[in-house]
């Protein structure tokens, strides 16, 4: 952590969405939604990202491509197995992440509750385990 913010902790704020949920930014352009609804969803995430940036807590953030683009790697008995697609069928998929630097878990949870995805999916907050 930086010298000036030693008392701050880094948290990953990850959005899980229902599989195929059209509000996932990576799917908005592909979804068969009215243009106004797509624009509202995009604007909500842009406003949230800007709020994190203006507050000085955003360290990094990004969207993930749809689950169909995933590749899974496993090593068993010294042999590498590569599978195209997700490892397991699941009802929720990770849509993206924000890494934030805040004083404590309560602050991270407060930011997570403001994420647009919290209203239609689950937001997971985890401390970063720095190496």
State whether residue 41 is helix, strand or coil.
helix
* Domain residue ranges in the chain: 3-127
Which range is least confidently modeled, 11-15, 56-60, 105-109, 121-125? 11-15
**Going by C-beta distance under 8 Å and a sequence separation of 6 or more, which residues neighbour residue 64?**
26, 94, 95, 96, 97
pTM of the predicted model as reported, rounded to 2 decimal places = 0.74
Which residues neighbour 80 within 8 Å (Cβ) at sequence distance 6 or greater?
73, 74
Residue 78: its pLDDT value, please? 96
3-127 is a CATH 1.10.3470.10 domain: no
pLDDT in tens, 6-48: 567 777 777 655 444 434 444 444 456 678 887 888 899 999 9
């Amino acid at each position: 952590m930086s010298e000036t913010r030693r008392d701050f902790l880094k948290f990953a704020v990850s959005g899980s969405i229902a599989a195929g949920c059209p509000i996932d930014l990576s799917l908005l352009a592909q979804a068969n939604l009215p243009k106004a609804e797509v624009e509202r969803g995009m604007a909500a995430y842009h406003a949230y990202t800007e709020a994190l940036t203006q507050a000085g807590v955003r360290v990094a953030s990004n969207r993930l491509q749809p689950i169909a683009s995933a590749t899974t790697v496993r090593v068993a008995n010294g042999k590498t197995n590569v599978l195209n697609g997700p490892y397991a069928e699941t009802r929720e998929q990770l849509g993206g992440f924000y890494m934030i630097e805040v004083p404590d878990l309560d602050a991270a949870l407060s930011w997570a509750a403001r994420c647009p995805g919290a209203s239609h999916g689950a937001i997971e907050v985890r401390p970063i385990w720095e190496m």
